[in-house]
Each structure stands twice: as C-alpha cells, then as structure tokens.
Structure 1
C-alpha cells in the first residue's frame, strides 16, 4: 500500500548551535510521524558554536547532506548547492518544502519551484535589512550586502507562504518590501516547557562551581557581534558585587575574553563555552541578560522565562513580543546607551526581589500561553494540512485571502 503521509522537506543552511537550528529540530520532533514523512536537508558546515548534526541523527527522519550549502557568499558553491537541492527535491518528491534562513531560503525555494513542488514555505528567521542586522564577513556597505539585500527582496517571490515567528518580524518585512501581507503568517517559535522549567538554583550553581553569596547574571548566546555580548560585558562592568556567566561559543570569544580582562573582571565573569545542559544551568541565575543588536525571535529569553528567570533585554525585533516591559521582563532601548540602561535595569531587579519574582511568574505564563512547542507544532501542522489539501485540488496559495492560523 502506498504511503499516504504528507512528505515535507525542511532545508536549513547549517546545523550549528543556534536559535533557528534549535527551532527546526524541536519542530521535527513534534510532527506526528503517522501523518508526516519528514526529510531534513542541511549543509555540512559547522563552526565554533558546535554542531547539532549528532542530535539530528537521533530524530528518526531522513537526513540529506548538501555539501556545497554554506553561509558565506560563494558563487561557485552556491550554484552547486542549488543543483544539489534540486536533486534532493527530485529524489524525495515532497508535497511541501519548508526552507529556513536566508541562504537556504533563497536556494531552497528556487529549487523547489523549479522542480514543481506544490507548496513552498519560507521561514527567514531574520533578514539582512532588519535593524542592527549584520552577517559575519559582510561589511555594512559594499557589494556583498547589496547583493544580499537584493536576494532578500526577491526571496518571497519563490515562496507560497512566508512564516514569521512574531508580528514584529512580519511587519518589518512588509515595511522593507520583502513580502506582502496576503501570504504571511505568524507561527511562534516554541520552547520545550517540559525541559525548560523552574529548577533548584543551589544545585545549578553547584553544577557550575559558583559562589551562591552574590547575584549571578547569565548571558547565553552565540558569540557573534549581532548578539551584543560586548554590550552585556560593559553593563556588568557597571555593577559591583555581581558575577557574570557567559554560555556559548563563536568567533568573538577571544575578543570578548580580552574585553573582560580590560575591565578587570576576569575573576567575576566566566566563559563556559557551548553547553548541552543550558536547561539545568538557567535556574542558577538571578536574571538573564539579552543584549542583542538584532533578533528575529529571542529563543534564549523565552527559555529563561520558561524557567521563571527574570529577563532584561534590549527591545529589538522579536524580543518586543517576548519581553513586555514591566510585565514579562524589563526592556531597554537599543542604541549607544543600551549598556548603561541594562545595568540600571539589572540593579533594579537585584534590589527588588518582589518585582523579580512577579516578572518571572508572569513571564512563564506568557511562554506557556503563546510560545510553547505545543503551540508552534499545532499551528505548523494546521498550515501543512491546509497547504496539502489545497495542493490536492490544484489551488494557488498566493492568491486570495490569507489562511489565518488562530
């Protein structure tokens, strides 16, 4: 008997430790296997952040390695990657292609359209024109950035549906003329609230070998410029008697360690590198600091809130949907005064335990109701079913009123 399941091909540029990659793997875990036959295609490139390929291999889905798919602009490799993606589509015959991030989004959607895939979804996970956006190796001005901006503006023409994790990213893309509202949908990125939940702070601090006598602030991020860890270090330098813990790795690590030394904070700011046990470490913190220069969603902030840890963040991009000032956290304005404002907000949280507890409780409820894995999976499955049903009767997805994912 023929397999009646809906075949979905997910495409992402890299499987490094990052928010977009984490979201994709968590989503694939939640797709019901009796209804969906899932294929995941990704480039083999890894980095200082660490690799998620070992975890992907445990998912029980078909994996396809795309050797030429890399993050950097490389015309020769990009042309080869396009061909490799077309072969993957021809081999697996998906009904739906769901392409993630900019490079895989463009090449994956183009390949899917060329091969006649009935339904193509683009999930940008941020874009080059977003406020504060910067891609390693791409100058703020120059031909590479111009080329990426042009590609971003043409990306949506190859997709039937654009999926954004929050209203802020959807509206930002419309404002930059990247896509139109008639085929855009908000499907929130989800947190595994069974994994990220309140825990024993003493046990978590012992796990890291930390002194429980002073407040501990956590910074969890890929160590790249756009994550603003240098801003966090500057903020911590303005606070006395506070310890800082940086979890994550990346190309900026040496520069950030040098910055800590320049502020004479080597004894109170520790770098732990990339960790698999972040959910067990989060309860150690009195607050989590999210100083990003650009952020499509802000998965770390959501994970901290799920653990009932108060969050102080820069109000930018998707963080504005997560950190509602004075309700689910404390938010400060982006810009040159961000470090000083973050320090002031942290000082306030440390001094006012009642406020910190109130924000933490409200924050966890906010995640449960709006940003859980269950919510993300439910809305994604609903979208897939509608697209598959529409494809079966030959309807176009880019015409008419948008499907509302309530």
Structure 2
C-alpha cells in the first residue's frame, strides 16, 4: 500500500511534529510513504520516506498551487491520500475529481467551518472532543503519539531548588504558550496560595500581563513564570500535579506527557482530558470558583490523586506512543482500502 501525506503549512508546532512523527512511524506499517510539504521539513523525515517539496503556504484557492498538487498526486498514484488539518483537506477536496486514491482528512482543532471534511471519505479526529459537531458517515479516533523523552529528569527536590520553591509544599506545573486561550489569567486568580506552589512553563504575548497579575495578587512566592523551557517534560517528573486551564484544545500534548510520566492531571473540560480523566479531576471552562475549589481539594491531598489516576498511567504509556498512533492509522488505511476494493 502506498500512502501520500499532505501538509499545507510552513509553521512550527504540534501539527508539523505530528506529520513528521506519523510519516516516520508509518514506514514500519505500510509499503511506501510519500510526503508533500514545504522544503524546510525535508531533513526531519526518515530516509525511507520519499519527500516531495511543494510550498502550499499560499492561498488554498490558488489555481497554480492546486494544479501542481494535483499533478504530484496523479504522478504518484497513491492508494491513500491523507490530508492533515483544514487547509490541506480543503485543497485536496477541491482537486478530488482529478486525483486518484482514497481520501482521508485529519481534524486537529475544533473550527466553526468544517464543511471541507464532507469531501473526505474518512475523517480521523485526534480526540473525541475535536470531532464533536462534525457530521460525517465515517469518523475515527486516533490519539496523537509522543516521542520518548530523553532529556534531564528532575526530582522533586531538584525542581524546588531550581525555582526556589519550598519543598514542603505541593508543586503544580502548567505547560503551554502564554495566550488567552490557555486560561492562565483565570488560573492565577483562582490559585489557592495556602495550598501549594505553581510553575507556569511557556512564553507568549501574555507574559507581561501575567507577571503583573501575579504581583498585584502578591503571589510572587507562590507562582513562577519560567519562560520557555526545552526540558518541560523533565520538569514534570519533579511536580505533584499538571494543571490544564485551557478554554479549548484539539489534542493537549501535555496531558499525554504528564500521564506517561506518572503525573496526575487536573483539567478544564477540554478534549482528551474530558475523555479520560476521572470526573473529580475535571472543572468547567471559565469557572474560577470551581477551579479554586478543585485546586484546594486536590493540592490538599496529592497522594489521593496518584492513587485515583494510577490506572491511567500504564494506559497512557501504551496509547500515547508514535508506534501505536502509526499502527492505528495504518489499520484504518487497510480497512478502508479493502472496502473500496471489494
């Protein structure tokens, strides 16, 4: 079976990492993998992946780009054409009458307009929540995988020393870009200073307003903004709890990373978290009082959180892997390809 992956962007983030990791993983599950993407990503793929450079970062209705994309797909004649995210799905849908292959699109984030997915024969959602509201006859779920962490791991004492925390108090960690959608303003306002300490890892346009809010609330000894840290997963190993305060998500990598390293999670009701966490570790979005109450309860007894989520740790270690993601995706390819051939 020959599979062609299409990625239309030229940015750096979860989508791009996903396409690279999935394509590299698929090499072990299908006969041939072809990737059509921007030249900048070429060196990230395994030698077994055949990379075809095409800059699709322009307009999705650009007839020249659509023609070039159609020509590449026609030349390759794949059995499966897999478009990643809305723009690539839209472009594949526009040329569907001119190209061969069974069409699959992966939905990575919840959007208001998802009409382009009606032109795909199968849709893969990276979480159950991300597919809510999408009307389509064939929707599958494949959670994203995460690569093994090979960096520095922190002990609890080491984490406390690194950020001048009191090692006698619980340490919670939140990891995300500092943007409004991540809900950090609400998290800081809801923080129970008498229950624990909070490390916020990440950078972004909200850093200065968040720092000002921490100062206004006199939380400098309890809440620390670390900025971007390449060893964020290592920092998790020294914490007592991961916090997710997001208003919306597609697939939250930090939940997968935390559970895989044995760190309990308290989260707002966003995709992935709301699908797998115990009910008592979920709070409504934009509800500071509920968040404060949940924080006070969980931080007051972090040992209970470890017990309550123990079964999730082993499940996460086997589910949130690149090989599991690739194997599930390849199984969908095979099933749909066989159905069409019958």
TM-score interval (norm. to shorter): 0.7 to 0.9
Question: Does 1:104 pair with 2:104?
Answer: no
* TM-score scaled by length of structure 2: 0.83
Partner of 1:120: 103
Question: Does 1:57 pair with 2:69?
Answer: no
Mapped partners of 1:255, 1:84: distance in 2:
45
Mapped partners of 2:63, 2:216: distance in 1:
45
Structure 2, unmatched stretches of 5+, are none
Cα shift at 1:55: 9.5
Task: Indicate the larger mover: 202-211 or 93-102.
Answer: 202-211
Cα shift at 1:221: 1.5
Question: Does 1:30 pair with 2:25?
Answer: yes
Map of 1:1-20 to 2, 5 A cutoff?
6-18=2-14, 20=15
Partner of 1:136: none
Cα shift at 1:120: 1.2
Partner of 1:263: 217
Distance 1:54 1:157, change over 3 A: closer
Distance 1:290 1:371, change over 3 A: same
Partner of 2:204: 250
Mapped partners of 1:126, 1:261: distance in 2:
34
Partner of 1:298: 252
Question: Does 1:167 pair with 2:167?
Answer: no
RMSD over equivalenced CA pairs, Å: 3.3
Deviation by residue 1:10-58 (Cα, 9 ceiling, x = unmatched): 325344233x4443333233223473432334458xxxxxxxx679625
Do 2:152 and 2:231's aligned partners in 1 also have CA atoms closer than 8 Å? no
Partner of 2:284: 333
Partner of 1:376: 325
Mapped partners of 1:55, 1:322: distance in 2:
35
Cα shift at 1:59: 3.7
Map of 1:207-226 to 2, 5 A cutoff?
208-213=162-167, 214-226=169-181
Distance 1:30 1:354, change over 3 A: same
* Secondary structure in 1 matching 2:224: strand
Do 1:195 and 1:279's aligned partners in 2 also have CA atoms closer than 8 Å? yes
Deviation by residue 1:115-161 (Cα, 9 ceiling, x = unmatched): 323111111112223xxxxxxxxxxxxxxxxxxx2xx22x1222110
Do 1:25 and 1:56's aligned partners in 2 also have CA atoms closer than 8 Å? no
Do 1:191 and 1:371's aligned partners in 2 also have CA atoms closer than 8 Å? yes
Partner of 1:324: 278
Mapped partners of 1:208, 1:92: distance in 2:
52
Cα shift at 1:81: 4.8
Structure 1, unmatched stretches of 5+, are 45-52, 130-148, 396-406
Partner of 1:366: 315
Partner of 2:193: 239
Do 2:24 and 2:45's aligned partners in 1 also have CA atoms closer than 8 Å? no
* Secondary structure in 2 matching 1:354: helix
Task: Indicate the larger mover: 363-372 or 276-285.
Answer: 363-372
Do 2:29 and 2:330's aligned partners in 1 also have CA atoms closer than 8 Å? no
Mapped partners of 2:110, 2:278: distance in 1:
23
Do 1:235 and 1:342's aligned partners in 2 also have CA atoms closer than 8 Å? yes
Cα shift at 1:204: 5.4
* TM-score scaled by length of structure 1: 0.72
Question: Does 1:386 pair with 2:335?
Answer: yes
Cα shift at 1:85: 3.4
Cα shift at 1:364: 0.5
Do 1:95 and 1:118's aligned partners in 2 also have CA atoms closer than 8 Å? yes
Cα shift at 1:302: 1.9
Question: Does 1:288 pair with 2:242?
Answer: yes
Mapped partners of 1:333, 1:196: distance in 2:
34
Partner of 2:79: 95
